[in-house]
Amino acid sequence: MLKINSIVHGVCKDLSSEGKGVVKINDDVIFCNGLFIDEEADILIEYQRSKVYYGKIKKLYKLSKYRIQPKCKICTSCGGCQFQQLSYEGQIEYKYNRVKQAFKRIAHLDVKIDDVIKMDDPYFYRNKAQMPIGYDKYKNIIYGMFKEKTHQIIPVDVCYIENQKTEKIFKTITYLMEKHHILPYDEDKKEGIIRHVLIRTSYHFNEIMVVLVSNVLNFKGQRNFINELIKLCPDITTIVENINSRTTNVILGEKEKTLYGKGYIKDTICGLTFKISASSFFQINPIQVEKLYKKALDLLELSPNCTLLDAYSGVGTIGLIASKKCQNVISVELNKNAYLDGIKNAKNNNISNVYFVNDDASDYINKSDISFDAVIMDPPRKGSDEKFLNALINNKVKKICYISCNPETLARDVSYLSKYYKITNITPVDMFPMTSHVETIVGLFLKK
Ligand code: SAH
């Protein structure tokens, strides 16, 4: 038992799946932000959740060979990144080992993992920035990031992983809110107007969307505010108001109104153009997504007469890109809006051999009488389920490409398939530099 607010001394032996340093003292486990493998530190114990203690570094004695001076000044308080103080080489080593360990520990498979597909420049990559708006202690309006596990806003000056064009826009928005007396929303008092600002930038077109998440529709002073914002930031091509008046941690509400421009932006992936609206799911790293999709399609070795299932398809991106290499593609997606966006994306790209289904992937594959030659599956963090995996096995699908953002559920599902399938390749792709998130692609071929 450790006392809260006490200081303990320990050595970090491992990193957790959230990227925190793991220190063991007798039977107690401590997770510590910003502490890396081999480092030795005095740690202040801050709180305990279930059996784990959470602490922060008080004094560092021994430093990791991968520790660097971070570019970001707020990385130790902001909840966004875990690895700003770790060299990119160190981040890549962590991601490789996490995938390796997941397969060993969960799937009991000692498999070869290919080199992580890295970014050339791992900064300023995100195409979607979303920040809460509030006050600092002097009552100035600020934007920033929530401190981890709190709703305290840490003001951001430069965010080193967002697109650089967003900085000026965030600054102009808070400046204009002060000028036009448009108040940030106060979660405790449940009053005020602007809750969050979301900015989506197109990588391939000069298009930027600003989404003002507000507490009330048509807030007072809106017109003047918008007109001045467009004048000061002419890069903005569309502004959408999203109304969220609920008491909730979910950022976006259901209702939307376009205040300026088309209400959406476009971007391209692997030569196809996609429409992105305020609430669409869209891959956030425009450079790495092309490498991810290319690797996935290479692994499947598609032939012109094949029928492909794109399961958990989002707005249809991978399936549409694969469609040139297949006879037919069926894309299955549970979310209605994403499914509808998929249909529009096919039409806008003049693609007619992709069919969209709005259903649960497991229910669909069990109902369908189509015999699929290949399957791409890209489920959410919790992974797939036995109903879906059994259907793959029973239908003797020849080739599978499994894309996952969670190495642990991936290892569990691949282990389930591995009696019938040979693993042909495992490649981690770094979609989220400076954070502990890992994306992995696995190729599986049916055993003879
Ligand atoms: N392949 C896409 C999206 C992957 S995100 C891309 O690369 O952009 C995972 C998607 O799975 C989300 O769009 C989510 O809505 C969808 N999803 C979640 N559970 C599902 C289920 N049971 N059946 C089908 N789709 C599901």
From atom 6 of ligand 1, which residue's Cα is the shortest distance away? 314
CA separation, residue 56 to residues 3, 10, 292, 324 (Å): 14, 12, 35, 52
How is domain 94-120+285-446 classified at the CATH fold level? Rossmann fold (3.40.50)
pLDDT of residue 150: 85
Pocket of ligand 1 (CB under 6 A): 281, 283, 312-314, 317-318, 332-335, 338, 360-361, 378-380
Residue 246 has pLDDT above 90, yes or no: no
Please, which pLDDT band fits residue 248 given cuts at 50, 70 and 90? Answer: confident
pLDDT of residue 318: 98
**Residue to substitute in 313, 363, 406 for testing ligand 1 pocket (most ligand atoms within 8 angstroms of CB):** 313
CATH superfamily, region 7-65: Nucleic acid-binding proteins (2.40.50.140)
DSSP for 128-194, written as a single string: EEEEEEEE-TT--EEEEEEBTTS-PEEE-S--TTB-THHHHHHHHHHHHHHHTT-PBPBTTTTB-SE
Domain 128-269, what architecture?
Answer: Beta Barrel (2.40)
User: pLDDT for 8-24, tens place per residue?
Assistant: 999 999 999 999 999 99
Please, which pLDDT band fits residue 280 given cuts at 50, 70 and 90? Answer: confident
Residue 115 has pLDDT above 90, yes or no: yes
pTM (two decimals): 0.94
Mean pLDDT of 168-181: 97
**Separation of alpha carbons 200 and 208, rounded Å:** 6
Mean pLDDT of 87-101: 97
Q: Give strand pairing partners of 442.
A: 402, 426
Domain parsing of the chain, residue ranges: 7-65, 94-120+285-446, 128-269
Q: Are 159 and 129 in contact (CB under 8 A)?
A: yes
User: pLDDT for 391-411, tens place per residue?
Assistant: 999 999 999 999 999 999 999
pLDDT of residue 187: 85
User: pLDDT for 329-346, tens place per residue?
Assistant: 999 999 998 899 999 999
**Separation of alpha carbons 384 and 388, rounded Å:** 7
Of all residues in the chain, what percent carry a pLDDT higher than 70?
Answer: 100
Mean pLDDT of 249-261: 92
**Residue to substitute in 279, 284, 308, 312 for testing ligand 1 pocket (most ligand atoms within 8 angstroms of CB):** 312
pLDDT of residue 126: 98
231 residue type, one letter = K
**Separation of alpha carbons 373 and 398, rounded Å:** 6
405 is known as an active-site residue: yes
Q: Give strand pairing partners of 57.
A: 43
Mean pLDDT of 40-55: 95
Q: Are 388 and 400 in contact (CB under 8 A)?
A: no
**Separation of alpha carbons 425 and 78, rounded Å:** 36
**Separation of alpha carbons 388 and 372, rounded Å:** 13
CA of residue 159 to ligand 1 center, whole Å: 28
SS3 71: coil
Mean pLDDT value across the chain: 95
- Among 59-68, 73-82, 165-174, 375-384, which stretch is predicted with the lowest mean pLDDT? 73-82
Phi, psi of 346 (to 5 degrees): -65, -45
Q: Taking the CB of residue 306, how many other CB atoms lie within 10 A of it?
A: 19
pLDDT of residue 404: 98
Tell me whether the CATH fold assigned to 7-65 matches the one assigned to 128-269: yes
Mean pLDDT of 176-198: 94
Taking CA 131 as the corner, what is the angle to CA 130 and CA 137, rounded to the nearest 5 degrees? 180
SS3 302: coil
Between helices 386-394 and 407-417, what is the axis angle to 10°? 40
> Among 88, 161, 75, which residue's Cα sits nearest to residue 124?
161
Mean pLDDT of 199-204: 98
